[in-house]
Amino acid sequence: MKRILIATAGALALAAGSVWGGGDKTKNSPQSSDSNLPSSTTPPATTPSTTTPPSTAAASSQVSGNVKSTDAPAMAIIIVLASGDEQNLSLSKDASITRDGKVASLDQVKEGDQVRASFDPSTHKATSLEVKSKDSSKAKDDSQKSKK
């Protein structure tokens, strides 16, 4: 009889821990009542839920690919990703653009250049573009071939 009571108390404690610990997140899951718990077990303290806005670092995404086209007056760029998909981005007014390690403007970015863009996924506004010209990567490949 004593073993049955211990086993039942253990099963109830596990079930209660699963419900309180978030083991079952469905809305229709059965909840155990406090009357089924052993008297020595108390439910964990709950704190009010607060939402904090995501930091700018967490809200930023990056894409890499080749430049398909740019529209300097509209401050927009289309990037072809490795998967073949296209990513359309508009640039924020204060976006930083570098090309081959030097500060550049969007009209200096050319079709076929390699680009890595950081942007806000909710607005598709790019905050930075790091561009490597297709000529510089080709020249680097050529110099490595001539050394061999």
- Domain shared by 31 and 92, yes or no: no
Residue scoring higher pLDDT (16 or 85): 85
pLDDT in tens, 83-121: 999 999 999 999 999 999 999 999 999 999 999 999 998
For the question of whether the overall pTM of this predicted structure is more than 0.85, the answer is: no
- Domain shared by 113 and 65, yes or no: yes
Question: How many domains does one find in the chain?
Answer: 2
- Domain shared by 76 and 109, yes or no: yes
- Domain shared by 66 and 129, yes or no: yes
- Report phi then psi at 15, rounded to 5: -65, -45
Range of the domain at 24: 2-36
Residue 118 inside a domain? The answer is: yes
pLDDT in tens, 43-73: 444 444 444 344 444 467 999 999 999 999 9
Q: Where are the beta strands (DSSP E) in the chain?
A: 61-71, 76-81, 86-99, 102-103, 114-120, 125-132
- Domain shared by 70 and 10, yes or no: no
The residue behind tokens 């500060």 is: 103
H-type alpha helices, the chain? 2-20, 134-147
Residue 68 inside a domain? The answer is: yes
- Domain shared by 18 and 74, yes or no: no
Residue 46 inside a domain? The answer is: no
- Domain shared by 26 and 71, yes or no: no
CATH of the domain at 119: 2.40.50.320
- Domain shared by 127 and 65, yes or no: yes
What proportion of the chain, given as a percentage, has pLDDT over 70? Answer: 51
